[in-house]
Amino acid sequence: MQPADGQQVAYGHPWVASFTVFFKVAAVVVYIICGLFSSSFVTNYVIVVVLLMLDFWTTKNVAGRLLVGLRWWNEVTDEGSNWRFETLEEGQRAINSKDSACFWWTLYVVPLIWLALGIIAVVRLKIDYLLVVVVAVVLSGANVVGYTKCSKQASAQLRSYATQAVTSGLTAAIARV
């Protein structure tokens, strides 16, 4: 999207978008090259898992809220597990298209990369490194599920507001007749 004067639209939150991409890419890159710097699986595992945890936390608690206006969490009670979602109300803040694209692309592409790395680990019989991939898929998968559900709820909420607005408009028009 370009403004009328031909300038590129800037990121609304460039630091948040940068850290969102950084933690995801850093975890993948460190996983791929970890054998070059250290022969200790434990050291490699700890470094990659710390990067994965930073990615999970940043995506869930910062990036989702600032880049796309969504937030999710899961509450576990005696009755079971309950998903909770927050979305910005219409008109609270416009979502920047570059921020949104950065968030959604990295959210969906990175788990696919981890799945491919898992297949490679199985083919190469590096079963210990498959443990790292499982952690990565679980953490990134939780964000995918949470934000996909949150996005669907936001869409449903928007449809509900639109239906409500049309219904009240029709009711007011009929009342004037």
Question: In the prediction, which pLDDT does 3 show?
Answer: 52
**Residue 9 included in any domain:** no
pLDDT band for 50, please (50, 70, 90 cuts).
very high
**Residue 37 included in any domain:** yes
Q: How many Cβ atoms sit within 10 Å of the Cβ of residue 147?
A: 24
Total structural domains in the chain? 1
DSSP state of 80: E
Q: Quick check: 9 pLDDT over 90?
A: no
pLDDT band for 156, please (50, 70, 90 cuts).
low
d(CA 63, CA 163): 30
* Average pLDDT in the chain: 82
The pLDDT > 90 percentage for the chain reads 39
d(CA 150, CA 103): 14
**Residue 161 included in any domain:** yes
**Residue 133 included in any domain:** yes
What average pLDDT does the segment 140-169 reach? 68
| pTM of the model as a whole | 0.76
pLDDT band for 175, please (50, 70, 90 cuts).
low
**Residue 4 included in any domain:** no
Domain housing 24: 14-176
Q: Quick check: 157 pLDDT over 90?
A: no
Digit-coded pLDDT (tens) for 53-72: 999 999 999 998 888 888 88
d(CA 64, CA 167): 32
**Residue 134 included in any domain:** yes
Virtual torsion, Cα 143, 144, 147, 153, nearest 10 deg: -140
Q: Quick check: 31 pLDDT over 90?
A: yes
Digit-coded pLDDT (tens) for 92-144: 667 778 888 899 999 999 999 999 999 999 998 888 889 999 999 999 999 99
**Residue 125 included in any domain:** yes
C-alpha neighbours within 13 Å on the C-beta side of residue 172: 6
Structure tokens belonging to residue 68: 């796309």
Residue with tokens 């590096």: 126
